Structure formats: structure tokens, C-alpha cells
Chains A and B, each alone.
Chain A
């Protein structure tokens, strides 16, 4: 008798699945490997020897620290802005029915659907026309455009599941708007905001395109890495930094995944 369900996948399918995964992740492992190589100018396989000295070198490079600090600052501030604006927007769209609600929803999501280069060019020309000098804050504004989207998407999904009568019950029991937000709404959307915020942070942290158009003289970490690839000296430093970036962005994304896996899609995670 044949069972209804195919429990075992055929061998060719298994092999191609493995190849697909290798194709995705082998290059990342190679980057990790060359962070330990003893050779600094060009990459040969296999590496002639393994060393930990590049970690020390990286630690003592002020340009790495400057780029890292800038990236963390930008990502933090952009995430903070996104959390406030994204949540407010999600609350408006899911709570109230008003003319143009769907259009607002689409316009909020648009920056993540549009190629980053469009957002970048648009922001750059807008900043020039308004005579705003490129600075830390223009980078933050650029990043906030797509950070808002991930917070908004997470918050809107949670607001939809939150029964409207909870807010009414709170008001009915004597809580004003602020108390209702503090004691009822916030605890119920907190994990969604945490997940959205972490994704926003991770997106901002490795953003290149919008940053190139909105940054002045400063370089964020990804930009610094791009510049560094051109220089043939101390190349493994880039690999060390890459490893750090992978870890810094992977952890929040994993956390966000586990926080929201009961039902909600992490919309926009693919950017």
C-alpha cells in the first residue's frame, strides 16, 4: 500500500536543495575564513596560514571605529523615528476609516517597494533644492523612509488582531487616552514593535545605496567597506568587519523571527 503522504524526498531533490543552500552560504563562510588568513594583499585558496592578528589590527584602526559608531548612531536614530511614526501611522490606518486610507497605506509602503536608487536620487535632489547640507541627519532621514515601512507593517498586523473593544473597555473603566495606550495598547503591540524595530535597525545598518546619495563626507560601515575593497593593503580587516556586521544584523533578525513567528509575516524582511 502506498501511503498518502510522501515522507521521503527523492535523492535528486535533496542534492539540489543542498547545492542551493551551499550556493547561498558558502561565500559567507569564505569571508569568515579569510578573516583569519596570514596573507594581506590577495586571496588565494587555500589560505597559506591562519592567524588572529587581524582582529587586533582592526581594533586599533580609528577609521573602523568611526564608521561603526556612525552606523550604530544612524541606525538607532532612524529606528527611533520609525517606531514613533510607523506606530502612529499603523494606529490611524487600522483604527479609523477615512477617505484615502488605502492610498496612505500604499504610500507608506512604497519606499521599500521602489528601488533604493530612486529614493536616494529623490532625497538628494530634494535636499539640494532645499539647501540642506548633507550630514548625519540627512542619512538618518534617508534611512527612516524605509525603516518606517517595516515598523508600520509589523504594527498594522498586530493592530488588526487587537480587538477594538479592548480600547473601549479601558476607556470605559476610567482610563484616559494616555493611560489606555500605556496599559493596554503598548503591552499588546510591544513584541511587534520590538520585531519591527530590530528589522529596521538591521536594514539601516547595512544600507548602501540610499546612504551614498544622502551622506556628506562621513562613511557608514557598509560605505567604508566598499571603499576598503579598492585598497590592496590590510584586506583581511574588511573580512573581520564583515563578520561583525553579519553577527550584528543576524542576531536581531533571528530575535524578530522568534518574536513574531506566531502568525505575523515579517513584511519587508526581504529587502
Chain B
């Protein structure tokens, strides 16, 4: 059964089409990422699931049940907010037990459940503190415990790692992923960080201007982008124009070519070749980035650390596998 189903859902704010005719199906137990730049409609979609927004048009189902008109407190979904939204006047334990308290669960029972949830997010014994006394990462875990203690069928996460520093973010990515697998819950995760989406999600939906441009596994999205936007947004790709494609003997409106699939040298069997003039290089640690001018179009190549760097201004031949050149439906 689908955990979440969107059928041609739109949400307009005046003239702004925040969400514009979105179709989505999220399977039960799936880790689903909504990826897109700010203002692309991904957060509004999340709020439509949570019930903070109602669709202007279209139909939403949560586990087969119509969601339109249901207030947030009648939906079996819980949200981890971007700013965590912990109640500043309550202790950590009361924050976590809040959902149980308003449902009328007894004091002893909800204390036990809240302490269990705090232990699950590796914060045992923090119950007596106030949110203001915790670090960002700890607050994030409390927000997670507060949502999970209600045993939701779907957990919504709105950029939950955005406020954390890099190291903590990578650690939390792994923890969230293993927590999701252990609980078998459906997670819907909103992020503008393509690396995060690719690393964590089972499937990714790429949002742009209120529309879903592509849905697929991280590998699908990365290797086979359907549009220039997806190719560009998910791990900056080279987008080859129709003219460039024709030079390579391919008839397509546009094609994407990942920078890391390019090598310097003559094309062998099953490979395609282009000539270009290196115009800039930079050292990125594990790889070198070389920018080349190929007949007026810029192509970026990421060369492995050991490979020789071509001299500036001297024409070289680039080679890449035929299957690395991914033909796209449209140039837009």
C-alpha cells in the first residue's frame, strides 16, 4: 500500500503556484527524499502531508485515507521541524511526552515511554533539562524523540540537519538511516542538499518551480537525469547542446555528461571523443578539476589525483564511454 499518495496536487498562494500539479506515491517503509532549491515547493508538499496546508486542487491520501480537511492533530504523521520547535517552557522529558500527554496517557506510562525514546536517540538522563541548555545536535535528537514517541506511521523531516555542522551532519545522516531501517517507518525527508538526499534516500523526488521533475533511485537521478535542471542540480553535470551532440553523432536536444566519467586520451572501442583546450585547473584534494573549451562550450572534467594534468592552452582529446553520455528529454 502507498503510505502517501498525491494526485495532481496544487497549492497556490495568490498568484504563486508553490505546488503545481504534483503526482507522487511514497511506499510504506520507504526513505523518501524531496530535493530542490528553496522555493521549489518541497516544504509546501511536506506541510500538505502534515496538514498545515490544504491543497488548492487535487487529492491526497495517507495510507489510503483521504487527507483533505483533516486537521494536523487527526493525522497519524509527525514532523521534525527545521528549527526543532521544542517548547521552551517545558523540560526535555515533558517535551518528548507532550504528544502522549494531550492524548490522555497517564503520567507514569508517558514518563516511561519518553525516557525510552530519549534512550533511543542516545540522550538518556537528559529529561530534566530545558531545551535552552542543549546543543543544536542534542535538540535535534530531542525533536526526533518527541515525534517518534507517538509511533507515527510516517515521519516528516523538514531539513532537520540544516543547522548542524558538517561532521555532526554526516553522523546524523547515518543514524537517521539506521533508525529508519530499524523501525521500518516511512520517512519523508526534505532537503536542498543533493549529497544528503543521495546518501540517505531510497528514492528521491527532484522539485523545481512547484513541479516534480524526476522521481527515482539516487543512482537513477544521478546517472540518468531527465532534464537540464536535474542534471545541473544533482551533482553539477556537463550539459551538451544539440550541436555538440551532433558532433558526437548523437541526435538529441541535449545530453548530460558527468565530469568524473571523462578521461584525457584517445577514445578506445565503445568510447566517444571530443577535442578541447584546457583553460583552468584547480586542485580539489582527491581529484583535479579541469575546465576545457570544446568548440565554444565549456566542459568540466574531474581527473583522478594521479592522472597527468594537461598543459593550459594546448589542444587535447577527451574520451568517455558511450553510455556515460545520457540523452535528456528536453533542454529546459
Contacts and interface: CB of A to CB of B under 8 A. Distances in A.
B150 to A, nearest CB: 6
Interface string B51-64: 11000000000000
Interface string B68-108: 00011100011101110111110000000011011100000
Contacts of A187: 89
Chain A interface residue bracket vs B: 10 to 19
Given A168-B52, A172-B78, A174-B150, A188 B102 contact: no
Contacts of B72: 168, 171-172
Given A168-B72, A183-B102, A173 B89 contact: no
Chain B interface residue bracket vs A: 20 to 34
A169 interface: yes
A125 interface: no
A188 B73 contact: no
A152 B302 CA distance: 61
Given A174-B103, A183-B98, A163 B85 contact: yes
Given A172-B79, A174-B103, A183-B101, 16 more contacts: A165-B83, A166-B87, A170-B87, A170-B98, A171-B71, A171-B72, A172-B78, A173-B73, A173-B147, A174-B102, A174-B150, A175-B73, A175-B98, A176-B73, A184-B87, A187-B89
Contacts of B81: 165, 168-169
A265 interface: no
A88 B160 CA distance: 33
Contacts of A183: 98, 101-102
B83 A174 contact: no
A179 interface: yes
A247 B72 CA distance: 49
A173 B78 contact: yes
Contacts of B223: none
B71 A173 contact: no
A169 B79 contact: yes
A59 to B, nearest CB: 44
A170 B101 CA distance: 11
Interface of B: 50-52, 71-73, 77-79, 81-83, 85-89, 98-99, 101-103, 146-147, 150
A179 B89 contact: no
A249 to B, nearest CB: 30
18 contacts: A166-B87, A168-B52, A169-B79, A170-B87, A170-B98, A172-B73, A172-B77, A173-B73, A173-B78, A173-B98, A173-B147, A174-B102, A174-B150, A175-B102, A176-B71, A183-B101, A183-B102, A188-B89
Interface of A is mostly: helix
A29 B96 CA distance: 55
B99 A163 contact: no
A119 to B, nearest CB: 37
Contacts of A176: 71, 73, 102
A258 B293 CA distance: 69
A166 B85 contact: yes
B310 to A, nearest CB: 52
Interface string A143-175: 000000000000000000001011011111111
Contacts of A172: 50-52, 72-73, 77-79, 147
The list of the 3 closest CB pairs from A to B, nearest first, reads A173-B99, A169-B85, A165-B85
A19 B58 CA distance: 73
Most chain B CB atoms below 10 A, which of A170, A171, A179: A171
A170 B102 CA distance: 9
